[in-house]
């Protein structure tokens, strides 16, 4: 009974937190408050090697943050009285005190105000994107990862988004993207990687590959980043979603007419899942096929970040540090990424067999991916495929299958010539190979990476594939002063990370109910009275 009462109180507490949480309004007052503190903390700093500093007193120079307090590493806390290079810091967090109003979470970004380095907050960056990608649904996102641009000889064109689900060093990943607009110009191939979001990006390595594709043939990367040609794709003969809606008009061809989930049907009863089934006419001699999907992801993840930020409050940096070492928390996050992925299954007799998982990739740039289907000789009747995912994470533009027997196209690596960074720092060594060194990309910064095109010049139909490895820190939305009063009254002495783990692991439906309530409201505001 005692445990039950505690759990009920905990749920009431979570409701209060989520109900009171909303995005903060940032202003210059934080800079003034910082100056008035005259170096009195507390502040926290997280470095790119996962060290967490809590400084009770501090001072600044152009290159270092100097302070006295404690250092936490792998669960051990020791006294600290030294300096930290700014180029090692990925987050700085000011803690709420009686004089500091609210919490601000910022990356390592400084400007001089009256001779004193001051901290920038996210909306002060005035982020303005390079030439926008307009070929996407109006209600998808503003991005949550590094943007990848290709220089087409005249301008940079937005082509892809890199490692968007790598939200900590422990989740670092390498992602591959096709760059159809890339052409040699001035004896080089130029790819731009930019940060245009309130995030901190850490780039480990980049590579550019080229393949000589057959002329007049489309190509696609599969979920294992293998490049395949698509000589003859075929549309499905039947397609329905879990509401019974006929999808054929939405997914027959790449026409920017996207199928999307009906928000009114998203409830606990549906498991907060979208399920779609497709039938394809199966040729008699088919033994293999390539499933082609053209899609884009929504910005639902930002709704999740908002609620995570509401729960975490001033424990954001502890959360990121815990994510580097806590295997259970890592598993929680990986499970959520998996749930947001597109699960593809093939019906074999009466049994659905998993063919692969397609992770979320981009919510600004529409993208194409493939999954190879094998052992089709045992399939009787039409080829029936089932796609399922967390509701309203995916918008589908085209789904087709190519039964042509094909071999993978071979990729050849191109040599990196140089790197030009907007911050005028030399990052070439940091991103040239996969090692322990990282390049830091703050909002508004970008790298122009130049490659030698000589191998591609001898090809009839060169196709370029860009690989980027790294991770990012999302700046969780902080809270208004009224929300902060809820936190200070109800969360004192409570382990916020433990509550978040409870929500992610044991209270999935409770968590998702509030996520989708907020998501519906934001869609209603954006789309008038439409919810689907």
Q: 522-526: which pairs have CB atoms within 8 A and are 24 or more residues apart?
A: 522/303, 523/139, 523/263, 526/139
Tokens encoding 249: 């008009």
Contacts with 249 (C-beta within 8 Å, 6 or more apart), sequence order: 257
Model confidence over 358-401: pLDDT tens digits? 999 999 999 999 999 999 988 988 999 999 999 999 999 999 99
Contacts with 329 (C-beta within 8 Å, 6 or more apart), sequence order: 322, 323, 497, 501
Residue 219 has pLDDT above 90, yes or no: yes
User: Across residues 496-514, what is the average pLDDT?
Assistant: 86
Predicted pLDDT at 463:
98
Q: What is the CA radius of gyration of the chain?
A: 25
Contact 508, 42 (CB under 8 A): no
Peptide bond just before 42 cis, omega within 30 deg: yes
Neighbours of 132 (CB within 10 A): 10
Q: Using CA atoms of 303, 309, 310, 311 in order, give the dihedral in degrees to the nearest 10.
A: 110
Please report which helix (H) or strand (E) contains residue 119, including its range: strand 116-119
pLDDT category at 501 given cuts 50, 70, 90 is confident
Q: Name the phi and psi angles at 103, rounded to 5.
A: -120, 135
Contact 440, 201 (CB under 8 A): yes
Domain positions in the chain? 147-216+410-474
Angle between helices 300-312 and 496-505 (to 10 degrees): 140
Tokens encoding 500: 């978040």
Cα–Cα distances in angstroms (integers) from residue 58 to residues 35, 44, 69, 114, 154, in the given order = 11, 10, 9, 18, 48
User: Across residues 500-529, what is the average pLDDT?
Assistant: 80
* 3-state SS assignment for residue 94: strand
pLDDT category at 510 given cuts 50, 70, 90 is confident
* 3-state SS assignment for residue 134: coil
Model confidence over 34-52: pLDDT tens digits? 455 566 667 778 787 778 8
What predicted TM-score, i.e. pTM, was given to this entire model? 0.79
Predicted pLDDT at 290:
98
Predicted pLDDT at 485:
37
* 3-state SS assignment for residue 295: strand
Residue 181 has pLDDT above 80, yes or no: yes
The residue that leads in pLDDT, 167 or 113, is 167
Cα–Cα distances in angstroms (integers) from residue 513 to residues 231, 266, 382, 496, in the given order = 44, 9, 37, 20
Alpha-carbon gap, residue 301 to 359, rounded angstroms: 13
* 3-state SS assignment for residue 353: strand
- The residue with tokens 């003859």 is 232
Contact 24, 309 (CB under 8 A): no
């Amino acid at each position: 009974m005692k445990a039950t009462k505690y759990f009920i109180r905990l749920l009431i507490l979570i409701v209060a937190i989520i109900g009171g949480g909303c995005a903060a309004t940032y202003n210059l007052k934080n800079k003034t408050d910082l100056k008035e503190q005259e170096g009195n903390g507390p502040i926290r700093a997280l470095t790119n090697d996962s060290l967490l500093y809590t400084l009770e007193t501090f001072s600044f120079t152009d290159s270092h943050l100097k302070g006295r307090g404690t250092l936490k590493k792998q669960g051990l806390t020791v006294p600290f009285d030294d300096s930290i290079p700014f180029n090692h810091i990925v987050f700085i967090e000011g803690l709420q005190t009686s004089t500091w109003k609210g919490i601000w979470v910022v990356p390592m970004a400084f400007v001089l105000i009256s001779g004193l380095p001051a901290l920038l907050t996210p909306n002060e960056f005035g982020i303005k994107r390079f030439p926008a990608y307009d070929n996407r649904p109006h209600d998808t996102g503003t991005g949550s990862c590094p943007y990848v641009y290709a220089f087409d000889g005249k301008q940079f064109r937005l082509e892809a988004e890199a490692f968007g689900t790598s939200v900590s060093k422990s989740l670092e990943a390498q992602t591959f993207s096709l760059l159809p607009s890339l052409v040699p110009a001035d004896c080089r191939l130029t790819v731009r990687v930019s940060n245009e979001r309130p995030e901190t990006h850490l780039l480990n390595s980049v590579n550019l590959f080229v393949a000589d594709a057959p002329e007049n043939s489309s190509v696609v990367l599969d979920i294992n980043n293998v490049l395949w040609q698509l000589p003859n794709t075929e549309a499905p003969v039947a397609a329905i979603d879990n509401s019974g809606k006929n999808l054929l008009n939405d997914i027959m061809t790449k026409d920017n007419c996207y199928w999307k989930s009906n928000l009114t049907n998203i409830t606990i009863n549906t498991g907060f899942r979208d399920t779609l089934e497709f039938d394809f006419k199966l040729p008699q001699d088919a033994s293999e096929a390539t499933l082609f999907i053209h899609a884009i992801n929504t910005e639902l993840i930002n709704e999740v970040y908002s609620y995570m930020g509401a729960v975490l409050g001033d424990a954001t940096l502890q959360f990121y540090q815990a994510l580097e070492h806590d295997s259970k928390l890592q598993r929680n996050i990986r499970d959520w990424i998996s749930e947001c992925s597109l699960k593809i299954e093939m019906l074999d007799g009466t049994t659905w067999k998993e063919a692969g998982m397609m992770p979320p990739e981009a919510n600004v740039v529409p993208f194409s991916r493939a999954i190879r289907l094998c052992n089709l000789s045992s399939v009787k009747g039409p080829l029936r495929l089932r796609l399922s995912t967390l509701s309203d994470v995916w918008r589908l533009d085209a789904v087709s299958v190519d039964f042509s027997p094909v071999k993978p196209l071979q990729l050849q690596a191109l040599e990196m010539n140089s790197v030009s960074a907007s911050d005028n720092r030399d990052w070439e060594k940091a991103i040239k190979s996969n090692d322990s060194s990282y390049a830091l990309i703050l909002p508004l910064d970008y790298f122009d990476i130049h490659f030698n095109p000589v191998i591609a010049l001898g090809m009839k139909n060169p196709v370029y594939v860009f690989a980027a490895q790294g991770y990012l820190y999302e700046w969780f939305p902080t809270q208004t002063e009224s929300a902060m009063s809820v936190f200070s009254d109800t969360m004192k002495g409570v382990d916020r990370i433990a509550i978040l783990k409870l929500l992610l692991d044991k209270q999935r439906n409770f968590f998702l109910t509030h996520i989708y309530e907020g998501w519906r409201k934001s869609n209603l505001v954006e789309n008038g009275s439409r919810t689907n």
